[in-house]
A = this chain, B = another copy of it.
Amino acid sequence: MFEALLGNGLVLKKIIESIKELVTEVNFEVTSEAISLQAMDASHVALVVLILRASEFEEYRCDRPQTLGVSITNLAKLLKIAGNDDSIILRAEDEAHVLTLVFTGKNNEKMCEFNLNLITLDSEHLGIPEQNYSAEIIMSSLEYARICRELTQVTDTLNLNVDKECVRFAVSGDIGAGSITMRANISDKAEEKMVLNVLEPVSMAFALRYLNLFNKASCLSEEVSLSLSPEVPVVLKFSFTLGELRYFLAPKISEDS
Q: Which residues of A contact B (CB under 8 A)?
A: 71, 74, 77-78, 80-81, 98, 101, 107, 109-117, 150-151, 153-154, 174-183, 185, 187, 189, 191-192, 194
Contacts and interface: CB of A to CB of B under 8 A. Distances in A.
Given A78-B153, A81-B153, A112-B180, 13 more contacts: A71-B175, A74-B176, A78-B176, A80-B150, A107-B189, A109-B192, A110-B180, A111-B180, A112-B179, A113-B179, A114-B154, A115-B177, A117-B176
16 contacts: A74-B175, A78-B175, A80-B150, A80-B153, A81-B153, A98-B176, A107-B187, A107-B191, A109-B183, A109-B185, A112-B178, A112-B181, A113-B178, A113-B181, A116-B175, A117-B174
Task: Across the A-B interface, give the 10 residue pairs with the lowest CB-CB distance, nearest first.
Answer: A114-B178, A74-B175, A77-B153, A81-B150, A116-B176, A109-B183, A111-B181, A112-B180, A117-B176, A107-B192
A98 B187 CA distance: 34
Q: Is the interface of A mostly helix, strand, loop or mixed?
A: strand
A178 B78 contact: yes
A151 B81 contact: yes
Nearest to A154: B77
B77 A175 contact: yes
